[in-house]
Structures are given as C-alpha cells and as structure tokens.
Amino acid sequence: MINIIAACDRNRLIGKNGTLPWNIQKDWDYFLQTTKNGVLIMGRKSYEDFQDHVSSYEIIVISKRDQSGCKKAKLAGSFEEAIKLGLKAKKTIWICGGRKVYEEAMPVADHLFLTQIDQEYEGDVYFPPWERIFNRPLSSTTDREKGVGLEFLVLGKNNL
Ligand SMILES: NC(=O)c1ccc[n+]([C@@H]2O[C@H](COP(=O)([O-])OP(=O)(O)OC[C@H]3O[C@@H](n4cnc5c(N)ncnc54)[C@H](OP(=O)(O)O)[C@@H]3O)[C@@H](O)[C@H]2O)c1
C-alpha cells in the first residue's frame, strides 16, 4: 500500500522557507500517529525539516547529493529507487513530500491523506492539484485549533 500524506491551506500551500508555514499541533500529531508503523519517503529538504521529529521512524530520503551525513535514513537517488526500497520493508509506504515527490507519487499511490487547513498563509511550495486523481472521498473528520478549521480527509481513486 502506498499512501500520500500532506497538509495544505486554502491555496494548496504546503511550505515556507524550508519549513511548514504554520504551527498546528493537532495536524502534526495526526501525521506522527498515522505514519508511525510505516516507512516514510521524502525529499531531501523535507527530511532536513522533519528529521528531528521522526528520528525513530523508518525513512527513505530522495537526493542526488552525497548524503553520507544522513545516518538515520536510507538514501535513494530517484523516486523509483525509493519505492523499490520501501516495498522491501513490507509496510505501508507514506509519501511525505515535497512538491516533486508528491507529483511523482500521485499516479502510483492508493490513497491521499490530506489535511485541509481553512486559512491562508504565506509561503513558497504548493501541493499539486489532486482533485481529478483522488476523487473518491473515503472519510472526513473535522477539528479546530487556535480558531482555525481543520479537515482530515482520506481520498481514494475512482477506478471507473
Ligand atoms: N505541509 C506538508 O504536508 C508538507 C509536507 C512535506 C514538506 N513540506 C514542506 O515543503 C518544503 C519542502 O518541499 P520541496 O518541494 O521544496 O523539497 P523536497 O521535495 O522536500 O526536497 C527537494 C530535494 O529532494 C530531492 N529530490 C526530490 N525529488 C527528487 C527526485 N525525483 N529525484 C532526485 N532527487 C529528488 C532533491 O535533493 P538534492 O538537492 O539533495 O538532490 C531536491 O533538491 C518545506 O517547506 C517543507 O516544510 C510540507
């Protein structure tokens, strides 16, 4: 099973200056809880941002650089290589960003776990359009933090 997990604002924003544009504990907790028994695949910049928080997780980092300093994660030179490595673990694969990794994952992923944050933030990295690919809502729960609405959506693909 290959799942994508992301959080975006009303404009599909996901990142700002190498980190998240917001500080929303409930979404971070949801991310950690949802992915904890799987293997995480992420681009090098996302890994630099997330590594301190997911040090106990099994992670595959995609990078073309020499990552000899990247001791706690496995390294893959391409998305395809990361998927091959991830499948060997025989666990759910969680695609954790960033932009290009999400794009490459959309054709092969089974589900999209998307937190929609009902607010507008400033930033520089956006989630790719997903609506035509993941067009089958499977579940939705809502919550709030600091007055901001959160919708935790799980979407599948329409096989028709
Ligand atoms: N809101 C969310 O759910 C969420 C999730 C994840 C990330 N983010 C945010 O998004 C931002 C990071 O995303 P980003 O898109 O800028 O960067 P990214 O995808 O995390 O990292 C980009 C780097 O990953 C490597 N890479 C990615 N795809 C590759 C491929 N197909 N083949 C080879 N290498 C590949 C390259 O590393 P090298 O340069 O080392 O070769 C590339 O420079 C941060 O602000 C982060 O906080 C948000």
Which residues, 6+ apart, have CB-to-CB distance to 22 below 8 Å?
Answer: 9, 117, 119, 121
Determine if ligand 1 sits within 6 Å of the CB of residue 99.
yes
Distance 44 CA to ligand 1 centre (A): 5
The pLDDT tens digits of the residues spanning 69-108 come to 667 899 999 999 999 999 999 999 999 999 999 999 999 9
Given a contact cutoff of 8 angstroms between Cβ atoms, the answer to whether 136 and 150 are in contact is no
Stronger pLDDT, 32 or 69, i.e. the higher one? 32
What is the reported pLDDT for 51? 86
Flag whether pLDDT at 160 surpasses 70: no
Structure tokens at 149: 């609405």
Q: Which amino acid is at 84?
A: K
What is the three-class DSSP state of 119? coil
Report how far residue 110's alpha carbon sits from residue 56's, in angstroms, rounded to the nearest whole number: 25
- What average pLDDT does this structure show over 117-122? 98
Report how far residue 32's alpha carbon sits from residue 77's, in angstroms, rounded to the nearest whole number: 25
Report how far residue 3's alpha carbon sits from residue 135's, in angstroms, rounded to the nearest whole number: 15
Atom of ligand 1 nearest to the CA of 64: 41
CB atoms under 10 Å from CB of 68, counted, come to 7
The superfamily CATH assigns to domain 2-156 is Dihydrofolate Reductase, subunit A (3.40.430.10)
Given a contact cutoff of 8 angstroms between Cβ atoms, the answer to whether 61 and 76 are in contact is yes
Whether the predicted model's global pTM rises above the 0.95 cut: yes
Determine if ligand 1 sits within 6 Å of the CB of residue 67.
no
What is the reported pLDDT for 99? 98
Domain boundaries, the chain: 2-156
Distance 49 CA to ligand 1 centre (A): 10
